[in-house]
Amino acid sequence: SIAVNGVCLTAVALPGNGFVADVSGETLSLTSLGNLKSGSQVNLEKALTLATRLGGHLVSGHVDGLGTVISRQEDARSVRFVIKAPAELAKYIVHKGSITVDGTSLTVNGVDGARFELNIVPHTFQETIMATYRAGSQVNLEVDLIARYLERLLLGDKASEPGAKGLTMEALARAGFV
C-alpha cells in the first residue's frame, strides 16, 4: 500500500522508479486523484506497519470527502489556510482536533461551521504539496478516525437497522449524554 495525496492505493506493479495502481470509479469520484495530470506533484507516504513508531495522528488513507481551499495567508514564518469541508463532515472537525489534508495529518486551529483553519509550519509547508494550494484548490480530507467510530458505536443497536447513518438527539439521550 502507498498513499497518494492521502488516498490509500495498492501498488500492483513497480516499474523503474515508480508504481502502478488500479483506481476505482468511486475513488475518482470522491477524491482529487482524477484532477492529476502527468508531472503533478503529489504527497506520497508508505503504509505504516504495526512495528513502526507513530509520529502523527491515526489515519487510514480512506478519504472522506473533498474540501476546498478558501484562503491562504502568510503569518510570520507559517502559512494559514482556511478550508471548507463538505457539510456532512463538519461535525467531525473540532478545534485542536486532527484532520488529514491530502494525506498530511494536521491540527485544526479554528472552526467556523464547515470551515476550518490550519497553521502550517515551514517544515510541513516545504515537505508537502501545500505550497501549491490556492483559493479554489480541491483537497482530499480524512476526518478523525476515532470520531467516526465513536459516532457509530453511540448508535448502539440502532446501527444494525437500515438507514442508520448518524447521531441524533434521541441516540445521545439513550447513551446518557443528554
* pLDDT value of position 168: 67
Please tell me whether residues 172 and 132 are part of one structural domain: no
34 and 119 in a single domain? The answer is yes
Give the pLDDT of residue 81: 98
Q: Report the pLDDT value the prediction gives residue 171, as an integer from 0 to 100.
A: 66
Regarding whether 93 and 159 lie in a shared domain, the answer is no
Is 148 exposed, middle or buried (CB count within 10 Å of its CB: 0-12, 13-18, 19+)? middle
28 with 66, same domain: the answer is yes
Looking at the fold, whether 22 and 110 belong to one and the same domain comes out as yes
Q: Enter the pTM of the model.
A: 0.85
Beta strand segments in 14-145, E: 20-21, 44-46, 65-75, 78-84, 98-101, 104-107, 110-112, 115-120, 138-142
CA nearest to 4, candidates 23, 110, 16: 23
Residues 130, 140: contact at Cβ < 8 Å?
A: no
Residues 74 and 102 in one domain: yes
pLDDT value of residue 151: 84
Q: Look up the CATH number of the domain holding residue 11.
A: 2.40.30.20
The reported pLDDT for the residue numbered 167 is 65
pLDDT at residue 170, rounded to an integer: 74
Q: Do both 128 and 165 map to the same domain?
A: no
123 and 170 fall within a common domain = no
Q: Does one domain contain both 74 and 151?
A: no
C-alpha cell at 151: 459516532
Instruction: Assess contact for 76 and 130: CB atoms under 8 A.
Output: no
Distance CA 148, CA 141 (A): 13
Is 87 found in the same domain as 107?
yes
The total number of structural domains that make up the chain: 2
The pLDDT of residue 146 is: 87
pLDDT at 24: 93
The boundaries of the domain holding residue 175 are 145-178
Would you write out the chain's pLDDT as a tens digit for each of its 178 residues?
899 999 999 999 999 988 999 999 999 999 999 999 989 999 998 877 778 777 767 778 889 999 999 999 999 999 999 999 999 999 999 999 999 999 999 999 999 999 999 999 999 999 999 999 999 999 999 998 888 888 888 887 887 888 776 666 776 677 777 7
DSSP H/E element including 142: strand 138-142
Judge whether 69 and 81 are in contact, CB under 8 Å.
yes
Tell me the β-bridge partners of 119.
80
